[in-house]
Amino acid sequence: MSAEVINRGNVVARNGVVAASQPLAVSAGLEILRRGGSAADAAIAVSAVLCVVEPGASHLGGDAFVITHHASDKSNLAFNGSGEAPHSATAERFPNVIDHHGFRSATVPGLVSTWFAIHEQFGVLPMSDLLAPAIEYAQSGFPANNGFLRRMKHHLKLYPDTKVFETLGIPTTIELGDLVTQPYLANSLIQISERGRSAFYAGEIAEKLINATNGWFNHQDLLQHHTRVSAPLTVSYRDFYVHGQPPPSQGMILLEELKIVEGFNLTNLSESEQIHLMVEAKKLAFEDRYRVLGDPEHLEVNVEELLSDEHAAKRRAQISVDKANVQPSKENQEGSDTTYFLVADRDGNALSWIQSVFHGFGASWAIPETGIIMNNRLTGFSLDQKSPNFITPGKRPAHTLNAWTITRKDGSLSHVGGTPGANVQVQTNLQLIVNAIDFGLNPQQNAEAPRWQHLNKPSETSLNENFDGVLQIEGRYPQEIQADLERKGHSVQRLSDYGHGSAVQILHVLENGTYMAGSDPRSEGHAAGI
């Protein structure tokens, strides 16, 4: 793998860094770091601002998954902020298909709970300070950028009858640079900043959710929710440890992919051979995903077996180095509207953070008079009783969200990274980690390098009778790479030069403690340091 910086340079800093998909969120995080806030403080501020300025991708009514690193004792934690199906969400209530939009498509929101779980352990500044930037942007407004307008117009094109923007108080006639004000959302954020977690799960916001859904959500659904905190899943890869999200996140699939490809000497192979092997590892890992992944509080998910050397060797042996596996595969087309960011502080602490409402604008439904968009994560469940992901009240759906960190064998932090992209997340993250560890790409080279994604949907140009999906590659890959992949049996579809859908943020911590961060030119965000 080779790459060169085309668009931007690396950000090199010593006292802290923030990388996110929206510049206003980056500025908010830096402000908190400059005021002496911890990485956790800055991350909460970034998270809240993103809900205001990128409402199509994440919101207070959505979820969050976070991996944290603590420099003082070299420890790592996984925060699982996914919500449960409400008491009303039984399979019998959905005879044919789970509602795609409306409150019946939502799980209990987990983001706000995650703010307070992280703040309780690692916060320094008061929550009122951390939510102040988001409150200001909601009250006084922020100028609509291209990303905001693009998401809104796309959603209106798909669902012209949606009432979500009317409920939020956002005119659909907004143009580039116009101020977007959200007084209802500002009031909700003020309540949370003043009254804490209970303002969302037991106060006025909760009452409005319960009343607006006619009891589809009830008090117990909200009161019983909590953010799960545990050790992350960890595997050894080359000379490093990679830390990922436990179930119900599919972060285990990223780690399984790494375990499989570790058995190949990627640096001695051609680029088409590298892509082929990683795509084949992805296919096998996703077979395991749909075979076993569900809520571990409701069924046993044998992660240890899945990430064992024996299982990796077994799966690796199923890969042909010369021929693509073209057996039809099972793979859901998951929602892809998500946002990822990272934060690190002057003390060497860092957070890898991803949050989402699942599909664009989630449930396309907001709690009246709160400005809060609900997720449609309930659609991540299955109505097949044999599935480990069968819908059940109180159960969390199998989740696409995953974030990762990498430490050296001495426990010190080496890399932090992640991306939006639903099922593409674990494919993009595989490429990022291989690029960083195997090929030594710096963060900005890594963010800009051409990427591929394997999707379980037909290509319009595919002539492969044994179609198992389409392998999309960016246009900067040489034509001979496409030809090599097609000779191996892949159905290849060429994207534009930067046509890959995900937008990554990456951090490398040099051994002397200096931060080097990169941000994807495929998004409007950036990395910045102090």
In terms of C-beta density within 10 A (0-12 exposed, 13-18 middle, 19 or more buried), how is residue 241 classed? Answer: middle
Are 221 and 342 contained in the same domain?
yes
pLDDT (0 to 100) of residue 331: 52
pLDDT (0 to 100) of residue 458: 45
Q: Is residue 349 part of a domain?
A: yes
pLDDT (0 to 100) of residue 420: 84
Average pLDDT, the chain: 94
Write the CATH number for 438: 1.10.246.130
Q: Which of 138-147, 254-263, 418-427 has the lowest mean pLDDT?
A: 418-427
405 flagged as catalytic? no
Q: Is residue 499 part of a domain?
A: no
Are 174 and 259 contained in the same domain?
no
Per annotation, catalytic residue among 68, 213, 338, 400: 338
- Residue 251 near residue 245 (C-beta atoms within 8 A): yes
Q: Is residue 465 part of a domain?
A: yes
Question: What average pLDDT does range 27-45 have in this prediction?
Answer: 98
Q: 40: closest CA among 332, 427, 345, 447? A: 345
Q: 57: closest CA among 84, 25, 30, 27? A: 25
Q: Which of 27-31, 195-199, 217-221, 460-464 has the lowest mean pLDDT?
A: 460-464
Q: What percentage of the chain carries pLDDT values higher than 70? A: 95
Are 190 and 237 contained in the same domain?
no
Are 179 and 290 contained in the same domain?
no
Confidence class for position 337, pLDDT limits 50, 70, 90: low
pLDDT (0 to 100) of residue 501: 75
pLDDT (0 to 100) of residue 6: 64
Q: 283: closest CA among 253, 307, 304, 311? A: 253
Reduced DSSP (H G I as helix, E B as strand, rest coil) percent helix, strand, coil of the chain, to 5? 35, 20, 45
Are 353 and 440 contained in the same domain?
no
Q: Is residue 422 part of a domain?
A: no
The whole-angstrom separation of Cα 225 and Cα 221 is: 7
The whole-angstrom separation of Cα 221 and Cα 219 is: 5
Rg of the chain taking only CA atoms, in angstroms: 22
How many independent structural domains does the chain possess? Answer: 2
Confidence class for position 327, pLDDT limits 50, 70, 90: confident
pLDDT (0 to 100) of residue 462: 37
Place of tokens 């510049």: 23
Q: Does position 143 have pLDDT exceeding 80, yes or no?
A: yes
Are 329 and 366 contained in the same domain?
no
Torsion sign over Cα 144, 50, 333, 161: negative
Q: Which domain holds residue 243?
A: 233-333+428-494
Q: 375: closest CA among 63, 64, 48, 158? A: 63
Are 192 and 104 contained in the same domain?
yes
Q: Does position 210 have pLDDT exceeding 90, yes or no?
A: yes
Are 308 and 457 contained in the same domain?
yes
Look up residue 372 and give its amino acid: I
Are 242 and 379 contained in the same domain?
no
Q: Is residue 500 part of a domain?
A: no
Question: What average pLDDT does range 86-104 have in this prediction?
Answer: 97
Task: Give the tokens for residue 295.
Answer: 């809520």
Q: Is residue 52 part of a domain?
A: yes
Question: What average pLDDT does range 291-310 have in this prediction?
Answer: 95
Are 122 and 149 contained in the same domain?
yes
Torsion sign over Cα 298, 304, 306, 311: negative
The whole-angstrom separation of Cα 494 and Cα 502 is: 16
- Residue 167 near residue 370 (C-beta atoms within 8 A): no
Q: What would the pLDDT profile of 508-519 be if each residue is shown by its tens digit?
A: 999 999 999 999
Q: Does position 236 have pLDDT exceeding 90, yes or no?
A: yes
Sequence length of the chain is 530
Question: What average pLDDT does range 239-246 have in this prediction?
Answer: 97
Q: Does position 71 have pLDDT exceeding 90, yes or no?
A: yes
Longest dimension (CA), the chain: 62
The whole-angstrom separation of Cα 443 and Cα 427 is: 17
Question: What average pLDDT does range 264-273 have in this prediction?
Answer: 97
Are 200 and 284 contained in the same domain?
no
Question: What average pLDDT does range 290-298 have in this prediction?
Answer: 94
pLDDT (0 to 100) of residue 459: 39
Q: Which of 225-234, 345-354, 393-402, 498-507 has the lowest mean pLDDT?
A: 498-507
Using the 8-state DSSP alphabet, how is residue 266 labeled?
A: G
Q: 308: closest CA among 262, 360, 363, 247? A: 262
Confidence class for position 500, pLDDT limits 50, 70, 90: confident
pLDDT (0 to 100) of residue 326: 85
Confidence class for position 469, pLDDT limits 50, 70, 90: confident
Are 100 and 220 contained in the same domain?
yes
Give CA 371 to chain center in angstroms: 23
pLDDT (0 to 100) of residue 457: 57
Q: Does position 108 have pLDDT exceeding 90, yes or no?
A: yes
Look up residue 152 and give its amino acid: M
Neighbours of 113 (CB within 10 A): 23
Q: Is residue 1 part of a domain?
A: no
pLDDT (0 to 100) of residue 530: 97
pLDDT (0 to 100) of residue 463: 37
Q: Does position 461 have pLDDT exceeding 50, yes or no?
A: no
Task: Give the CA distances from residue 453 to residues 163, 278, 466, 504, in Å, rounded to whole numbers and listed in that order.
Answer: 34, 10, 19, 14
Q: Is residue 504 part of a domain?
A: no
**CA dihedral of 318, 324, 328, 333, whole degrees rounded to 10:** 100
Phi, psi values for residue 366, rounded to 5°: -115, 145
Q: Does position 91 have pLDDT exceeding 80, yes or no?
A: yes
Q: Does position 493 have pLDDT exceeding 70, yes or no?
A: yes
pLDDT (0 to 100) of residue 338: 82
- Residue 69 near residue 417 (C-beta atoms within 8 A): no
pLDDT (0 to 100) of residue 296: 96
